[in-house]
Amino acid sequence: MPVSERQRMARESWVGFCERLKEAGDQLLREDFPMEELDVAEGLRYLTHLVFASVQRNLDGADPAKPMLYLLCDERIKSGGDNPDNRYYVAAVSNAYDYLLTGDFSACSYYSIIALDKAEMTTGVSAEERVRRAAAARLNSSSLLKESDGSVQVHISATRMGRNHLPIDDRTNMIIVRCTIEKHTDRPGNVVLRRIDGRGGAPALTVEGMCAALPKIADHVLQTAAFFAGWTADFQSHVNQLPLGDQGYIRSTGGDPNILYYLSAWSVPEGQALVVHLPEIPACTAWNFQLCNVWFESLDYTEAQIHLNGATARRDRDGGVTLILSASDPRHPNWLNTTGHGGGTMCMRFTGAAQPAIARTALVTSAAAAELAKRLA
């Protein structure tokens, strides 16, 4: 049988997708932050995982008429300083439909639901747009009402519905559900999103639809890789310090307005350790600190202690917290394992904090870190 025009169109679309995707490899050639051999290997893995994540986002989970609640990050798929204490559930939505989100969040220290435009997560917005979006739909555990069985139900729609209502408009195409769980033995219970409007099902799969989705998949990989690598490059101006980030900008990219974010880069040469001291932990719902690689992926928390939180960090005698980042164990419970990395990025979060925290940092020898650990033990 002769090749049809649709077959030719499909092949051209695939070739264009592959050609566009190749450009993501340029991130491996960046010179604006240090990159060791391990970082390069992780960069290849990161780009591969971004392809998988982008397929979920722009193909499998892209149709708001057939909402699919999927994990934005997990133990393997990581980006944007993913929080090991969080489960991020994401779904495509549209103001053409009405939705009901249900879940048991009793295991969570904190949870929130945010409606946004997915482009905000990897491009940010202007200062003027930030002001307008500051009033965008956001709900969290402090205001959401529970059902008699302890579960939570949230109506997501353009018009007001139910006791818990997340309004969406013609700019909204995504929701993010954040669940903060400080004890990793716990998990949220049965989080489900479904349509409740009865306005018809999802359209059938077509060649045209697939040809339209492929460029979006490739573009998301390129944009995400470049966006967060750009953050790593910016962090080089305050390596081994932990300043409070630009909260307005972080929120404009999908950050929770109830969380204070501290973002930076770290560099710990062999035989040294970075000491992070928090003289005081402000009153808050939850807090944590984590190590990430240069691609702003959390390090492997399934194999090593690379993060601590309010439930797992040991306090100093005076009530503060001291963390020690190094390759070798200084014999202190708040040791964070750099897992073979000489540098990377780091992130600290305070949820519902009454005031910002102050982080003091110092690069010391491994011997000095061991002595410090003895004094703090």
The string of pLDDT tens digits covering residues 135-166 is 557 899 998 999 999 999 999 999 999 999 99
Sequence-separated (6 or more) residues with CB below 8 Å from residue 142:
258, 352
Cβ neighbours of residue 219 closer than 8 Å, sequence gap 6 or more? 20
The alpha carbon torsion through 125, 126, 132, 137 (nearest 10 deg) reads 10
Q: Tell me, yes or no, whether 216 lies in a domain.
A: no
Residues 39 and 144 in one domain: yes
Asked whether residue 160 falls in the same domain as residue 247, the answer is no
CA separation for the pair 226, 123 (Å, rounded): 10
Alpha helices in the chain (DSSP H): 5-22, 37-55, 120-123, 127-133, 207-235, 247-252, 366-376
Question: What local confidence, expressed as pLDDT, does residue 39 receive?
Answer: 98
Q: Is residue 309 over pLDDT 70?
A: yes
What is the CATH classification number for the domain harbouring 348?
2.60.120.600
Number of other residues whose CB lies within 10 A of the CB of residue 149:
6
Query: Higher model confidence: residue 374 or residue 15?
Result: 15
**Cβ atoms within 10 Å, residue 55:** 17
**pLDDT averaged over the chain?**
92
How buried is residue 340: exposed, middle or buried, by Cβ count under 10 Å (0-12/13-18/19+)? exposed
Q: What is the pLDDT of residue 124?
A: 53
User: What's the pLDDT at 119?
Assistant: 61
Q: Structure tokens of 28?
A: 């491996």
Query: Would you state the pLDDT for residue 377?
Result: 65
pLDDT of residue 372: 87
Residue 186 has pLDDT above 90, yes or no: no
pLDDT digits (tens, 9 = 90+) for 199-254: 888 889 999 999 999 999 999 999 999 999 999 999 999 999 999 998 888 887 77
Asked if the structure places residue 100 within a domain, the reply is yes
Distances (CA, A) of 7 to 4, 10, 206, 207: 5, 5, 12, 9
Structure tokens at 297: 């992926």
- The pLDDT of residue 251 is 81
180 and 247: one domain? no
Specify the CATH number for the domain of residue 9: 2.60.120.1600
Phi, psi of 254 (to 5 degrees): 110, 0
- Over residues 106-138, the pLDDT tens digits come to 999 999 999 987 665 555 556 566 555 545 578
Domain that holds residue 94: 5-195
| Tally of structural domains, the chain | 2
Q: What is the pLDDT of residue 138?
A: 86
Q: Where are the beta strands (DSSP E) in 84-184?
A: 86-92, 99-104, 110-116, 138-140, 152-157, 165-167, 174-180
Percent of the chain residues topping a pLDDT of 90: 81
Burial environment of residue 8 by CB neighbours within 10 A (0 to 12, 13 to 18, 19 or more): exposed
- Same-domain pairing of 248 and 105: no
pLDDT at 171 over 60: yes
Report if residue 321 sits inside a domain. Answer: yes
Reported as a pLDDT band with limits 50, 70 and 90, residue 58 is very high
| Neighbouring residues of 304: CB distance < 8 A, sequence distance ≥ 6 | 337, 339
Distance, in Å, from the CA atom of 86 to the CA atom of 78, rounded to the nearest integer, reads 12
Residue 43: predicted pLDDT: 98
Average pLDDT value for residue range 275-302: 97
Instruction: Examine residue 364 and state whether it is found in any structural domain, yes or no.
Output: yes
Task: Tell me the angle at which helices 5-22 and 207-235 cross, rounded to the nearest 10 degrees.
Answer: 0
Q: Which of 133, 167, 195 is the last residue of a domain?
A: 195
